[in-house]
Structure 1
């Protein structure tokens, strides 16, 4: 929902939010740095946070013997190696500096598909219809639903141009397949955002959730501390169509993203993925 507070109140709130975000980032950075070079057999405060991170994104799997505690166990070493291999960094099985840097990089909240290049989440999940209606549930600070509408339409066009789909916007009270909205960290779906920009659900669920706590923009070249809403939309809409993450760093469907950049154009890898999933 658009922020309708006075300019003065908004400025006060914005300053408070930026300061709070800075504190959160510094605490996370300090706790992770303390774990640098930890390896199998060590027991250190904060190892459980690494396990939770890797579990969230599909890497750490444990049984009743191995839990989300502070012990650096065999499953954690294996998860780290898989994570490092997926990212194309040195495979050490330790919490080294490259691994820490990757974990501190903001990203999509959807778990990674552990295959090369474009991928599908298992089955794969697909839409039967090729005519999808989408709707905006609410807006976010700096935008209205009217200003978000052409941005999301352009993001959908990126996929329509290379697939058999057509997309149309409808009012939220009209039947639609894709529901788009901005939400707080804990928003009732069992998947809090944490540091993620957004997450989306595979067909035929249709939910696309943006994290309202990030600072969003439509012009990241001028507002380099903010996140380009169209770039994230193109990525999340790819998930909503059935694509998983790509391991190709240039791809729109790559999991990691930073504020201040623009990544709106599909690469060959993205195009091959959607065409493989939905042949013309």
Structure 2
């Protein structure tokens, strides 16, 4: 992947990220997009609500509208939690410090590291290793 590496500071942490070359955008006629969760993850409604709230914020700040669908195969954006070896060519894991990765528009994949403990709030903790 040819991408430019960037970083920003959030609190006392430096966050590293990469931008796709050429700043790809959805075609002008594609404004209504769908998203789905990997059915193998069996995510709770609380976890799905976190993503739904984030997607609402994306819609408010862009010209895109998002609708959840149950069809992971046909969704424009596919959200899933996966362990290190998932066959997409991007290594994640505690040793590497990569918690999530995504792919350019055509693929529409958003992969998060299932080996991590994700905190939704001070009460709700998502531990996919159990």
- Correspondence 1:203 to 2:105: yes
- Kindly tell me: are residues 87 and 179 of structure 1, through their superposed partners in 2, closer, same or farther at Cα, counting changes over 3 Å? closer
- How many equivalent pairs are there? 116
Verify the 8 A CA contact 1:137 1:179 in the aligned structure 2.
Answer: yes
Hey, what does 1:157 align to over in structure 2?
A: 56
- Of the three residues 27, 34, 49, the one matched with 1:133 is 34
- Kindly tell me: are residues 208 and 175 of structure 1, through their superposed partners in 2, closer, same or farther at Cα, counting changes over 3 Å? same
5+ residue gaps, structure 1: 1-56, 60-82, 89-101, 114-120, 228-280
Instruction: Tell me the secondary structure at the aligned position of residue 179 of structure 1.
Output: strand
Shift of 1:152: 1.1
More helix by share: 1
- Of the three residues 206, 215, 227, the one matched with 2:117 is 215
5+ residue gaps, structure 2: none
Verify the 8 A CA contact 1:138 1:182 in the aligned structure 2.
Answer: no
> What's the Cα RMSD here?
3.1
Q: Output aligned runs, 1:94-133, within 5 Å.
A: 107=15, 110=17, 112-113=18-19, 121-128=20-27, 129-133=30-34
More strand by share: 2
Shift of 1:58: 5.6
Task: List structure 1 runs of 4+ shifted beyond 4 angstroms.
Answer: 105-108
Instruction: Tell me the secondary structure at the aligned position of residue 112 of structure 2.
Output: strand
Larger Cα-atom Rg: 1
- Kindly tell me: are residues 139 and 161 of structure 1, through their superposed partners in 2, closer, same or farther at Cα, counting changes over 3 Å? farther
